[in-house]
Amino acid sequence: MTKFDKTKFELDNLIMNHDVYEIIKRIKRENRGLKTLLKVSKSLSASLEIEDVLYKAMEYVEKVCKAEASSIWEIDHEKKELFFRVIRGKHAERIKKMRLKIGEGIAGHVAKVRKPLMVNDVRKSPYWEDAFDSESTFQSRSILAIPILLGRRIIGVIELLNKKDGRGFNQKDKENLLALSGAIAIALDNARLYEERKELFIQTSFALATAIEKRDPYTGGHTKRVLDYSLQIGKALGLRGKELEGLKISAILHDIGKIGIPDSILAKPASLTREEFEIIQGHPVIGAEILKEIKGMEKIVNAIKYHHERWDGKGYPENLKGEEIPLWARIIAVADTFDALTTSRPYRKRISEREALEEIERNIEKQFCPDCGKAFLKIMRG
Amino acid sequence: MTKFDKTKFELDNLIMNHDVYEIIKRIKRENRGLKTLLKVSKSLSASLEIEDVLYKAMEYVEKVCKAEASSIWEIDHEKKELFFRVIRGKHAERIKKMRLKIGEGIAGHVAKVRKPLMVNDVRKSPYWEDAFDSESTFQSRSILAIPILLGRRIIGVIELLNKKDGRGFNQKDKENLLALSGAIAIALDNARLYEERKELFIQTSFALATAIEKRDPYTGGHTKRVLDYSLQIGKALGLRGKELEGLKISAILHDIGKIGIPDSILAKPASLTREEFEIIQGHPVIGAEILKEIKGMEKIVNAIKYHHERWDGKGYPENLKGEEIPLWARIIAVADTFDALTTSRPYRKRISEREALEEIERNIEKQFCPDCGKAFLKIMRG
């Protein structure tokens, strides 16, 4: 029997036993399903900044399975807990910081046994935990939960909540969700790897910057505080994603040029001479020099170089003025000055936070960018 | 007409005009194609260490389209050139470093016009470049080349070489390849982003380590040289991938603990007192302290901490012995000592490379791990 004959024979058998319309419809349906799956699979891997992509994927899954809400839990293997990677639905914001122990609740149970669980009346399930509903005021009725497996390793759990028709989820919903879970697993894992890289970079930069900072005996904790203030100002000004990340790295590295300043000047327990002061003023340029060859660091190099420029053009090293000064540098300038004012130096005593804020207010449009200065005052004064 | 009636009506029309077997077979074929596509799409996004994945994907594409060889070119937008990301086929090794200008050759032409090109007799094509064949001794006959587009941006070109049946590629091959190119584009772009992150981390660490090294006026270029020697030893010992990368970062950061040593000791233009020497000997521990909190740096922290241990247990800080000392630390120890011997210090003159190698040879199994020491001698003596 040739291959063609075999197919023909199988088809004959099929057609004898079923309505030909039904057969064609079934294959066509499968076909459509595959196309959608392919589309979603592709969109899932389309970004390493995964939150948005997963959010959209869940939106789609909700639509296909007609669910009211959904979430993706990721597993924190160290703490043996689940946390939300994505959460969609009424008052999701209220519960997104909540965690679940492995074994606890429906998602926790699925994480433990690594098998799908379909619960069509949550009140009757031995695994049901009410805490999330009471916090969010969302009312769970039916839940479909499946494990996200990467090979044999479990990395998370997907949950669909409340089938809209009120009748609960069915076998078909489960199959659809299972078909997608492989692609979700990969997307999640890629995003995790990418984030680990980011974190490694940021934390190593921070550790090295802090070590360098320690050479200056008068500025303990300065890097950390400037970083915190800068991020708060950045967020208040609406920065997010890559913009916020760049600001973060700039703030961490803003003083690394101090590596080029001798101990004798950094540690001098008295006022500096004019010459020594000029040497210290070289640190933004030295910092920029250190990083200038690195591809992808151009904006960060500029933020470091110009974090002592002033809005009125009277700063250093290049007397840039107003918006000629990069935004990250203008933000760091406010954070840096506030921290300098509120910590003691050999040549002057610290002033109180209240006084420092007044000082900053007086210097808006002179020393500081008005937007950055005002945002900071608002943050600090509440 | 209900939805069901409409489908039935469409099917009736179809069946009236075609053999029902043919219809079912066609849909089933499409179905199988989609399933394969889904499988390959998924496997393409399964790793950020992309070389292997792309290599396997091309293996599959060659099989489907019955081609003898294949390659994926990536575009270096800065230099306006194409380089090989993947290359499969006879003597591929010989040409994998060769580059192509955009516009040059068949792949270069496709990169320029962003349209597929099917050439079934390369000698007749105005775009044909013989250089690659003469170098590899591969004989190209037919080529199918399609652009890899990410949205509207071109990031590479896929080439299939020599249809095995001798008749050249056809429309179906082109369609198959086009269907996959979207997934390849995404995989390639994710890998690129991930690599950029890695590079940013390594280069920033290197820049900061070099800046820290500059505080010691006697060790100019030390970090760079220890890095180079260490990588050569690591490669000779068969390290690759993550192992080689970890060694790289350890070698870059091995002396960062010197940030904690005062200028007065580092820059002392005379022999050190016993006390000063002990302070300097603290640098491996200080270096490890700086990075110890960072998740994912554990092995690097140990390599830094133990790069002054000796094979015979007489090193510092913990008198570790033999294979108790982490491999990366043992490798760096050889590289570090060789560089110290061949550069001048205030308390002793440099010795020649030949003498330094003899010194290392004499100290194998005393100061140095035999494998690392011997590998280094072999590298340096050729």
**How do the domains of chain A map onto residue ranges?**
1-44, 46-191, 214-381
Q: Mean pLDDT lowest for which of A136-150, B48-62, B321-335? A: B48-62
Q: Mean pLDDT lowest for which of A59-68, A240-249, A315-324? A: A59-68
* pLDDT of A215: 87
Whose tokens are 């994480």? That residue is: A111
φ, ψ for residue B158, nearest 5 deg? -105, 135
* pLDDT of B9: 62
Q: How confident is the model at residue A204 (pLDDT cuts 50, 70, 90)?
A: very high
pLDDT at B182 over 90: no
Mean pLDDT of chain B: 88
* pLDDT of A366: 97
Please name which of A379, A342, A378, A382 lies closest in space to residue A359, comparing C-alpha atoms: A342
**How much of chain A exceeds pLDDT 70, in percent?**
93
Looking at chain B, how many residues does it have?
382
Whose tokens are 């981390």? That residue is: B201
pLDDT at A373 over 90: yes
CA distance A332 to A302: 12
* pLDDT of B12: 61
* pLDDT of A67: 92
Stretch B115-140: mean pLDDT: 86
The answer to whether B45-193 and B214-381 have equal CATH topology is no
Does residue A221 come out as left (phi exceeding 0), alpha (psi in the -120 to 50 range) or beta?
left
* pLDDT of B202: 95
CA distance B372 to B364: 9
* pLDDT of B246: 96
* pLDDT of A4: 56
pLDDT at A32 over 80: no
Q: State the DSSP string of B109-134.
A: HHHHH-S-EEES-GGG-TT---HHHH
**Which chain B residue lies closest to A49 (C-alpha atoms)?**
B190
Q: Mean pLDDT lowest for which of A111-120, A344-353, B77-86, B153-162? A: A344-353
* pLDDT of B270: 82
**How much of chain B exceeds pLDDT 70, in percent?**
93
Inter-chain CB proximity B290 and A199 less than 8 Å: no
Q: How confident is the model at residue A195 (pLDDT cuts 50, 70, 90)?
A: confident
Residue pair A284/A308 in contact (Cβ under 8 Å)? The answer is yes
* pLDDT of A256: 96
Which of B24, B34, B262 lies closest to A263 in CB terms? B262
Inter-chain CB proximity A201 and B203 less than 8 Å: no
Q: How confident is the model at residue A55 (pLDDT cuts 50, 70, 90)?
A: confident
Interface test with B, best of A10, A26, A190 (most B CBs within 10 A): A190
- A214-381 CATH, one of 1.20.120.1460, 3.40.50.880, 3.30.465.10, 1.10.3210.10: 1.10.3210.10
Please name which of A259, A250, A258, A257 lies closest in space to residue A202, comparing C-alpha atoms: A250
* pLDDT of B190: 80
B2 interfaces chain A, CB cutoff of 8 Å: no
Q: How confident is the model at residue A267 (pLDDT cuts 50, 70, 90)?
A: confident
* pLDDT of A297: 95
Render pLDDT for B259-317 as a digit per residue (tens, 0 to 9). Answer: 999 999 988 888 889 999 999 999 999 999 999 999 999 999 999 999 999 999 999 99
* pLDDT of B274: 94
pLDDT at A217 over 90: no
Render pLDDT for A280-333 as a digit per residue (tens, 0 to 9). Answer: 999 999 999 999 999 999 999 999 999 999 999 999 999 999 999 999 999 999
A46: chain B residues, CB-CB within 8 Å = 186
pLDDT at B258 over 90: yes
Cα-to-chain-centroid distance, residue A218? 33
Stretch A29-40: mean pLDDT: 74
* pLDDT of B81: 95
Look at the domain A46-191 and name its fold: Beta-Lactamase (3.30.450)
Stretch B90-99: mean pLDDT: 84
Inter-chain CB proximity A38 and B42 less than 8 Å: no
Question: % helix / strand / coil in chain A, to the nearest 5?
Answer: 60, 10, 30
How distant, in Å, are the alpha carbons of A116, A178, B161 from that of A66?
18, 16, 48
Render pLDDT for B224-249 as a digit per residue (tens, 0 to 9). Answer: 999 999 999 999 999 998 899 999 99
| Cross-strand partners of A163 | A67
* pLDDT of A10: 64
Q: How confident is the model at residue A376 (pLDDT cuts 50, 70, 90)?
A: very high
Q: How confident is the model at residue A3 (pLDDT cuts 50, 70, 90)?
A: low
Edge-to-edge strands, sheet with B153-163: B99-101, B81-88, B67-76, B153-163, B143-150, B117-119
Q: How confident is the model at residue B11 (pLDDT cuts 50, 70, 90)?
A: low
Mean pLDDT of chain A: 88
ipTM: 0.80
Interface test with B, best of A47, A181, A200, A299 (most B CBs within 10 A): A200
CATH class of this structure's domain B45-193: alpha beta
* pLDDT of A14: 58
Residue pair A126/A163 in contact (Cβ under 8 Å)? The answer is no
Of residues A130 and A242, more confidence is placed in A242
How distant, in Å, are the alpha carbons of A242, A262, B46, B249, B252 from that of B151?
20, 52, 21, 35, 38
CA distance A285 to A296: 18
Inter-chain CB proximity A215 and B259 less than 8 Å: yes
Please name which of A303, A215, A292 lies closest in space to residue A259, comparing C-alpha atoms: A215
Q: Mean pLDDT lowest for which of A272-276, B26-30, B117-121? A: B26-30
* pLDDT of B106: 93
**Which chain B residue lies closest to A296 (C-alpha atoms)?**
B200
Inter-chain CB proximity B204 and A41 less than 8 Å: no
- Amino acid B296 reads G
B204: chain A residues, CB-CB within 8 Å = 201, 204-205, 291, 294, 297
A30 interfaces chain B, CB cutoff of 8 Å: yes
Counting one residue from chain A and one from chain B, the pairs whose CB atoms sit within 8 A come to 163
* pLDDT of A269: 82
* pLDDT of B312: 98
Q: Mean pLDDT lowest for which of A26-35, A60-69, A91-100? A: A26-35
How distant, in Å, are the alpha carbons of A133, B22, B63, B206, B232 from that of A199?
33, 56, 41, 17, 28
Interface of A with B in 250-309 (CB under 8 A): 256, 259-260, 262-264, 290-291, 293-297
* pLDDT of B278: 95
